[in-house]
Amino acid sequence: MRIVTLGPEYQVALIVAVASHLVAYLSVGLPNVKYMAVALGSNLILLFAYAFVIRSFEGLRSRGAAETKAKERIQRVLALPFPEVKQRALSLIADSRKFRYTKGNSSDNPAIQRLGPVLQDFFSQFETVEQVGGDSFVSRKVVSESSLRPGFLTIGSDFAHSELVVRRGEDRVFIVTDSEHKLDDGLPTIYHNICLLGRE
């Protein structure tokens, strides 16, 4: 005797059909016109609910995969020697499809001297660097005491209502949106930040 195994889509259809008839029977009783109307309505509702659950599950799985890829990309960049990170970042800045920049250090900002050595070197070369098609930018002019995180210096912004900040005399870059949330590990330098923005 051959046993026929139904595929997942047929199993779902069968379950929905049986559940619809059960709802109709419990609501109306023996089959009649009202019974069929309730069964049909229940069938449609259950199918919509099933489709919603499937879409939600696929969305969660997709976001999970995207987060995993992002973490892997961060780890790849962090594993690179600093000279290579810097060279990649400078190449990305020079790519007009990804960044806009102004060379030089024309703005006189004493706060630059309170930055770490890598950032001081960076701002000796660039007045501003801005991501094309994004909100991230850094600028000599904005280097000042952070308005969001006391004790830190802001060097720019990553997205609306955020700041890129560093501790005085240090180069590690953090993204903050308030004064309360716990800081993550940040990125070792502004060049690492640019590499990740440029999808390196």
**Could you give the count of Cα atoms lying within 13 Å of 187 in the half-sphere of its Cβ?**
28
At residue 10, the pLDDT reads 47
At residue 80, the pLDDT reads 94
At residue 13, the pLDDT reads 55
Q: Where are the domains of the chain?
A: 8-74, 82-197
pLDDT, mean of each 10-residue run, the chain (200 residues): 51 57 59 61 66 65 61 88 96 95 86 96 95 92 94 92 94 92 91 86
At residue 46, the pLDDT reads 63
Read off the pTM: 0.66
CB 137 within 8 A of CB 131: yes
At residue 131, the pLDDT reads 94
Fold of 82-197: SMI1/KNR4-like (3.40.1580)
At residue 104, the pLDDT reads 81
